[in-house]
Amino acid sequence: MRGRAALTGLALTLLLLAGCGDDDADADAPTRKSSSSPSTPTSQAPAQPTVTPAAGPVIGDDVLQLNLVEGIDWRLVGADAATKRIDAGVVSVVIGSLLDANVVDPDHNYYADGVEETYRTDGYRTQRLGNRDVAGVESWVVEARRGEERAYTVGGSRAGYAWDITFVVPVNLAEADDSIDSMLASVAWKV
C-alpha cells in the first residue's frame, strides 16, 4: 500500500498522456541541463541565478500548491493537475500526495525507486538525478523519456505526507527546464 502512495501523481500523469506519446524505442537517454555552475578559481562563490517563480493559474492539493507558467491556456483537470496540447506536443503538470504515517525515507530511495519502476514498466528510459531543494525541502528527482516525451518527477516527504510533482513536456521544448524551475520556485506548502 505504501508504494502506491507515492505514485498517485505519476499514475494520473500517465493516464492524462495515454495515447499522446511516441513509443520510439530508439530514443536517447533522458537529459536535463545541469543547474550547477562550473567552479571558479576566485575565492568568491559564483552568483546563483535567480529563478522567477511562476505566476500563472494555481493548482494544488492538501499538501502543496504551485503556480503554472503564464502564456499557456491551461486545461485544469481537477484542482491538482493541468494539461495543454501545444505545437511541440503535450505539456502537463500533476501534483500527488498521500498521508503516510510511515514516511521514513531519509535517502529518498523508496519512493524514487517506485517512480522509476513505474516509468520503466510503461516503456520509459529513466535516470535518477541529484536531489534538489523544493521550497526548503530536500527532494528526489527522476527523469524519464519515451520517444519525444520527457517526464521530470520531483518528490519527497513533509509533515507525514509523501508528495510528488510530475512535469511532462515535449523533448524539443526549448524552454521546458526554465518553466519547470519557475513552477517549482512557486511551490508553497500547506502543511
Set out the domains of the chain in order of their start, with CATH numbers: 2-19+54-189 (3.40.1000.10)
From first CA to last CA, the distance across the chain in angstroms is 22
Q: Which residue has the cell 505545437?
A: 87
What are the pLDDT digits (tens) for 112-149? 999 999 999 999 999 999 999 999 999 999 999 999 99
Q: Report the pLDDT value the prediction gives residue 52, as an integer from 0 to 100.
A: 96
What are the pLDDT digits (tens) for 64-97? 999 999 999 999 999 999 999 999 999 999 999 9
What are the pLDDT digits (tens) for 28-46? 444 454 443 333 334 454 4
Instruction: Kindly indicate the confidence band of residue 48, based on its pLDDT and cuts at 50, 70 and 90.
Output: low
pTM of the model: 0.77
State mean pLDDT over 13-19.
Answer: 42
8 A C-beta contact, residue 32 and residue 158: no
